[in-house]
Structure 1
Amino acid sequence: MKKVVTIFLAISLLATTPVFAAEQESNLIQLGEGMIEQEEGYWSKELTVDEIMAQKGIQSALETFYDEFPRTKAYKIMGSKVQRIEDGEEKNEISLGLKSEEEMFSLQFDIKTEKITEYIQRVFDVPESELPKTVRATLDKIYNLSPEARNLKFYGAEMYSYNIKEKEQGKMYSLGFNENEEIIEGEYNNKEFKIKLDETGEVTYFKFENIPLPLGNLEGNTKEEKAQDLLKQLYGEEANEYKIKKVTVRKEPRRGFVVFMPTSSEKYPIVVDFNNKDELNGLEVTTRDFLEFAGLL
């Protein structure tokens, strides 16, 4: 599991986990007026469109971006001023959003260099027919492991594309399937399958929600052996580069995790979920920091 998924993992983890401690305290940086601490080591202040456009260098940077993506010139613009600590260094940025009904671009403008240093494109409601063949091939692997999942209906997909320091980082897809073919707020008696993977079909996350569907057709007599075979089914020979580090069982709710650590520092750990019947029902590529925080190491 290559480190190309770094940003995608960050987005996923920030939505569900507490923030880890920053390396420096707030009194080591000079906070601007009105800055509010959102999390440790991260402060922000919402800006109006006029305040955004008044920032030195931002109009020129946006015009360059508009030249590359002309359609975005008509998009709604929003943003905030950000001060944060990264690797012990203070960063001062304008975080921008350019949004339409079909997509959104999230941009980071560096106040010091007066340049857009990175952006993320998020496309909403990608039709199932437009998913790459590699993504479809991975879905077939999941269906072979859990045939019942094949009966679930596609209800939505989003595509994320990253550009960091003028280098393309590839595309990631987030897909959802359930019985209703739509998301119904407050509905928990619905079999649901979610998966995140890159454009090559490499999985970073999948999970059967609400009513778990067990994964079958796996070799092995124990959950550990089956978890190892799951990695082989999804990642091929690359699975040989992962070794089981720890198995954890949580009593409330009754579920457990098999943690695989890579032999290379260039790859991320993988966690396989199992239920109270020791049936495997999910997988996630994660970080060492998160595993330590969650007590899974």
Structure 2
Amino acid sequence: SREKACHLLGEVVLCTQTCTISTTLGDACDLLIASGNTGTLVMDQGEVVGVITENDILAALMDGIDRDIPLDLWLRGGKARLPGCMVNALTLTPAMSLQKAADRMAGQAEMDSGYACHHLLVSNGSKPHLVSDLDVARSFITNLPKRSRDSAMSLQVKQAMKARENVATCRLSDKLIDAYRIMFESRQNCVLVVEGLGDVDGENVLNPEDQGSHIHGVITVTDALRTFSECQSGDNTTVKGFLNGLTAAEHFTAPGRSIFDTWSLLEAAERMSELGIHHLVVLRERRADEKEIVGVLSALDIVCALSSASWIPGTDGG
């Protein structure tokens, strides 16, 4: 059965970070930045009343919401990704398998309802936890039995990635807020930064001699956290200025977050885990020493690829 083929949610190290309904959205944002987590549980008298995620911060930035708004108001305002009304629907028990978690996330992503698809709650009625798409992807693949793991190794990045023509892009000359808006409206958590050569430092340019791969950087929803935390609108700086102002520790360059389309999803999940990021730029070898960018792979893409278990021996594939 599926339950025997995959490890259980209760065996995964999950996020227990919490805040309260009186916490401000800005303080919750700062908490996400400091911890490196992509979401935090919101508690009221010992009960989970919602979750604040990176996408909540992006939505607040788009609406010009003040960082001092209490989480209680945000969760009841109609823009929250995982408000109280969705807590039960997105809660699984520790005894459920990672396969079930992948199925639930993939189902949410397919519905495209505007509610959370990158996070699930895990609770057996006592202390709740939060699991992200990267938690599921990494744990699902690395904890498979050997026979299933061999099958998983055969599933390649190119089978799960978003093709480049379907990936959101912005230009170096765009205002930062416009890059965030492109990301928000496309419902993608990253945008590729494109434009002519020589506009940013060479280390931030992927394959500067290759006319097919002028990617000068990647703007992600994590960058929106920093903008919101600093009470910036993103309207007074360009994407180029933003990228040039970041240190290597604050932002992975395009080459630093690249993989090849022939890598297995296991290798991709491991790279994401090592770097602590949820998006990788996908390359393809064209000729000796020449590569082209063919897409982007996210942790959610990996989860969706794993959601159908027909390729895993010993599962029913339903």
TM-score (normalizing by structure 2): 0.25
Specify which structure has the bigger relative contact order, considering alpha-carbon pairs within 8 angstroms and separated by 6 or more residues.
2
In proportion to residue count, which structure has more helix? 2
The normalised TM-score by structure 1 is 0.26
- Could you say which structure has the higher strand fraction? 1
